[in-house]
C-alpha cells in the first residue's frame, strides 16, 4: 500500500553513502532495513540507477552494453471476460504482435477460440495458478500448442512443486514461473521445476537483482520473461532497459492506465523501442 511504502522509505538513510555508484553496497543496506517491501525497495533501486545514468549522461542500456535494437515485442493483456468483450478487446489490440490471454476462469477454450476468431498473432497464456489437475493441465498444453500459444505461465498452484516438475517435463510448451518466483535465490531452486522465470521489478527489488536473475537463469539454461504490474512508464521504462536480454516481454502496464505521469519506452509496430534519454529513459509528460 502507499502507507507501507512511505513507512519503509522513511527508514531509508542514504546520507551515509557518498558514492552512488556503490550499487551493491547501497542496495544491500536498503534490502536489510526490513523484510518484504519489495516494491518500495525497487523504487529506491530504480531512482539510484536513473541517477547514475544521468550523472554520466547515458541511458542504462548503453552503460550495460546492451543493444537497443534487440528489444522484443511486448504482449498486450486480454483479461477473462465474455466472448463479446474479449472480441472487442482483441480488436482494440490490433497494433500488438503478441497477446497475453488470462486463463483459469473455467472458460479457457472459449477464451482462446474467441481470440483466435479475431486474430492469428502468437499468444502467451497466464493461468494464475488456476488449474488444479496435472493431467488436465498437460492435455491443455497440447491443445494450446495447436492454437499457436508460445508458453504457459504459472498453470498450477505454486505449492504443487512436484506436479509442476512433472508437467514441465512432459509439456510441449515452456512452463514459466510467476507467482512462485520472487527473489534471486529462487532461480536455482526452480531448475527442472519450470522452463523459465518471469521477472518483475516490483518483486525482485529492482534492476540490480533483475540483472543477476537473468545471468543465473541463463547459466542454468532457463528461459527468461520480463513482466510488470500495473505501473507507470517510470517502472516499465526501467524494466525495458533490460528487455533486449530476455526471450519474452509483457511490459504493457503503462498502457493500461490513464494517469501516467511520464513518457518513456514506446511500443512501435508492437516492439518495445528505447530512447537515448539518460538513466531509465523517462521525462515528465507534458499536460
pLDDT band at 286 (very low <50, low <70, confident <90, very high): confident
User: How far, in Å, CA of 94 to CA of 209, rounded?
Assistant: 34
pTM of the model: 0.93
Strand-pair category, 262-263 with 223-227: unpaired
Q: Indicate the residue among 41, 62, 83 that finishes a domain.
A: 62
* Mean pLDDT, residues 69-75: 97
pLDDT recorded at residue 167: 98
Portion of the chain with pLDDT greater than 90, in percent: 99
142 and 182 housed in the same domain: yes
Domains identified in the chain, total number: 2
User: Within 10 Å of residue 230's Cβ, how many Cβ atoms?
Assistant: 13
Tens of pLDDT along 89-123? 999 999 999 999 999 999 999 999 999 999 999 99
What does the CA dihedral 187, 74, 79, 137 come to, rounded to 10 degrees?
-40
* Mean pLDDT, residues 260-278: 96
Q: Is the pLDDT assigned to residue 287 strictly greater than 90?
A: no
User: How far, in Å, CA of 43 to CA of 6, rounded?
Assistant: 11
20 and 102 housed in the same domain: no
* Mean pLDDT, residues 184-193: 95
- Calculate the average pLDDT of the chain: 96
160 and 36 housed in the same domain: no
Question: Grid coordinates standing for 215?
Answer: 545471468
95 and 126 housed in the same domain: yes
* Strand boundaries in 10-122, DSSP class E: 75-78, 98-102
- Give Cβ neighbours of residue 246 (< 8 Å, ≥ 6 apart): 72, 199, 214, 224, 225, 226
Portion of the chain with pLDDT greater than 70, in percent: 100
- Reported as type and span, the H/E element at residue 40 is helix 38-55
209 and 256 housed in the same domain: yes
Q: Is the pLDDT assigned to residue 283 strictly greater than 90?
A: yes
55 and 87 housed in the same domain: no
* Mean pLDDT, residues 80-86: 96
Full domain range(s) for residue 49: 2-62
The C-alpha cell 537497443 sits at: 68
87 and 166 housed in the same domain: yes
CATH code, domain carrying 20: 3.30.390.10
Tens of pLDDT along 111-160? 999 999 999 999 999 999 999 999 999 999 999 999 999 999 999 999 99
Chain-centroid distance of CA 140 in Å reads: 24
166 and 277 housed in the same domain: yes
Query: How many residues are present in the chain?
Result: 287
Strand-pair category, 98-102 with 123-126: parallel
36: left (phi over 0), alpha (psi -120 to 50) or beta: left
38 and 87 housed in the same domain: no
- Reported as type and span, the H/E element at residue 115 is helix 108-116
pLDDT recorded at residue 216: 98
232 and 264 housed in the same domain: yes
Amino acid at each position: 500500500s502507499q502507507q507501507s511504502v512511505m513507512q519503509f522509505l522513511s527508514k531509508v538513510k542514504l546520507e551515509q553513502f557518498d558514492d552512488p555508484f556503490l550499487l551493491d553496497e547501497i542496495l544491500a543496506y536498503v534490502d536489510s532495513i526490513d523484510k518484504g517491501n519489495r516494491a518500495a525497495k525497487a523504487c529506491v533501486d530504480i531512482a539510484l540507477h536513473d541517477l547514475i545514468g544521468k550523472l554520466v549522461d547515458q541511458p542504462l542500456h548503453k552503460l550495460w552494453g546492451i543493444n537497443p535494437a534487440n528489444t522484443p515485442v511486448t504482449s498486450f493483456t486480454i483479461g477473462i471476460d465474455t466472448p463479446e468483450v474479449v472480441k472487442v478487446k482483441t480488436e482494440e489490440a490490433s497494433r500488438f504482435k503478441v497477446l497475453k490471454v488470462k486463463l483459469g476462469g473455467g472458460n479457457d477454450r472459449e477464451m482462446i477460440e474467441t481470440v483466435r476468431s479475431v486474430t492469428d498473432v502468437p499468444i502467451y497464456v497466464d493461468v494464475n495458478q488456476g488449474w488444479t489437475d496435472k493431467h488436465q493441465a498437460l492435455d491443455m498444453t497440447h491443445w494450446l500448442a495447436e492454437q499457436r500459444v508460445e508458453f504457459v505461465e504459472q498453470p498450477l498452484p505454486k505449492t504443487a512443486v512436484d506436479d509442476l516438475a512433472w508437467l514441465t517435463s512432459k509439456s510441449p510448451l515452456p512452463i514459466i514461473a510467476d507467482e512462485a518466483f520472487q527473489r534471486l535465490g529462487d532461480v536455482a531452486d526452480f531448475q527442472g521445476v519450470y522452463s523459465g522465470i518471469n521477472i518483475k521489478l516490483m518483486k525482485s527489488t529492482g534492476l540490480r537483482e533483475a540483472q543477476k536473475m537473468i545471468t543465473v537463469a541463463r547459466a542454468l539454461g532457463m528461459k527468461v520473461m520480463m513482466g510488470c504490474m500495473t505501473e507507470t512508464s517510470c517502472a516499465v521504462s526501467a524494466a525495458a532497459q533490460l528487455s533486449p536480454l530476455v526471450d519474452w516481454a509483457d511490459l504493457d502496464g503503462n498502457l493500461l492506465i490513464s494517469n501516467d505521469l511520464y513518457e518513456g519506452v514506446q511500443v512501435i509496430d508492437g516492439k518495445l523501442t528505447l530512447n537515448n534519454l539518460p538513466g531509465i529513459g523517462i521525462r515528465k509528460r507534458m499536460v
